[in-house]
Amino acid sequence: MNQSKIKLYNTLSRKKEEFTPINELEVRMYTCGPTVYNYTHIGNLRSYIFADILCRTLKYSGLKVKQVINITDIGHLSSDADSGDDKMTKGLLREGKELSLKNMRELAEFYTESFKEDLKILNVEKPNGMYFASDYIKEDIDLIKKLEKKGYTYKTSDGIYFNISKMSDYGILSGGKKNWNKEGARIAENSEKKNPEDFALWKFNNEIGFKSPFGKGFPGWHIECSAMSMKFLGEQFDIHTGGIDLIPIHHTNEIAQSECATGKKPFVKFWMHSEHVDTGGERMAKSVGNFLKIQSLIEKGINPITYRFWLLMANYRTKVNFVWEALEGAETALKRLYRLYLNLGEEVGDINKNYQKKFKECLKDDLDTSKALALLWDLLKDLPADKESEKILNKDKKATILDFDKVLGLGFLNLKEEDIPKKITKLAEERELARKNKDWNTADEIREKISEMGYDTDDTSSGPRIRKV
């Protein structure tokens, strides 16, 4: 794939643009990670599946990718007005643990391991680095000092704040200042702020927190991402991803503090965001308690990869409505895909260049996974020109599907036929004997019995093929 032809939607320009990395040898990418005070819900996990598809596409195109994910374990307050409880504090209180930095880290490590397991279950490839925010307090302080020296900060009774009036294009990610504050009342709780949208760089806390030149406390949520991304990726890098809910405040403030501190524009070349997963017309969120975990799917007997497959049926910028019926329908479709793939046999041939070219065209158009999946179905249904070419075509289909799956991540490589219980195999043999004797009534009765036991039989030229329904 020619990387100069890949077009990605850039939230900053609000249009699709041709993507070329700053350094042609490596794409540097930062993905906003979870605040680990609770389990990660499947709505939040959409942004990591999206980022994974993006990473896989760039690698598929021949580029090297350096991806970093942060783990927010401090400083994320429950209110966008930089007030309320720290979310990690809420987690400790919920679990009846004493408020201390040690307990806060232990809580973070527990939920981070759960998050990592979720990513593994969903076939999300490991990033180059995943780092706890609490390990980079020095970097936060250094960045705040730069802003302080340049006159962008001021002090109130509860912290150090960034003065947005000092930045002429503040809010550019959301379409500019005039469209920025749609929820002004919600973020203007602090009467000491010079501007309602001014945000905290450091919050004071005399009971628990980290020592700093400004006073004991915690870094602001936004400064953590700027400090960590610049540490690992440089003062300017290629792509920053996250959920769409991060645009108006978190990512807007990242841009403001980063560009003002370094004097470099742009901080990030491409800002990319995935849409919400709704439940009953509401965005899934831990704060309102309407969230589902990966374990929720497993408890329903649904393969979690089905959720990945279901999300790929829509563009990452399309809001999706989660209902169990839709997921169950997706699982039926995925099982059919798996069955068609297994029916191709064991040999792996050569990648079909025509289908590969079409697949790349889908990806080049802003990661159009819905068209890519439609192409996968077309490939499986593509019939051979004659009987003699069937075996060759099937093994080439298999190679092409495995090539597609380098991006789709649906797990075709590790698929294998399930072990069929001996009693089912014996019934199938009895049915086959009845068919040879043209005892169709007995054959039908045995087939019905096999079906009742959760299996199906397909009659092929090489004999019966048994599969679990």
What is the per-residue pLDDT for 179? 40
What is the per-residue pLDDT for 288? 52
* Domain made up of 3-274: CATH architecture: 3-Layer(aba) Sandwich (3.40)
**Among candidates 405, 411, 421, 294, which has minimal Cα distance to 356?**
405
Check: CB of residue 37 under 8 Å from CB of residue 91.
yes
The whole-angstrom distance between residue 182's C-alpha and the CA centroid of its chain comes to 27
Residue-wise pLDDT for 348-363, tens only, equals 999 999 999 999 999 9
Residue-wise pLDDT for 377-395, tens only, equals 999 988 765 665 666 689 9
**Among candidates 71, 47, 69, 115, which has minimal Cα distance to 229?**
69
Establish whether domains 3-274 and 294-414 are of one fold.
Answer: no
Check: CB of residue 186 under 8 Å from CB of residue 249.
no
Check: CB of residue 420 under 8 Å from CB of residue 398.
no
Question: 305 or 446, which is more confident?
Answer: 305
What is the per-residue pLDDT for 185? 40
For the chain, percent of residues with pLDDT exceeding 90: 72
pLDDT at position 261 over 90: yes
| Pick among 3.30.70.260, 3.30.310.50, 1.10.730.10, 1.10.490.10: CATH of 294-414 | 1.10.730.10
Per-domain residue ranges of the chain? 3-274, 294-414, 422-468
What is the per-residue pLDDT for 460? 66
Of 116-125, 230-239, 387-396, 404-413, least confident by mean pLDDT is: 387-396
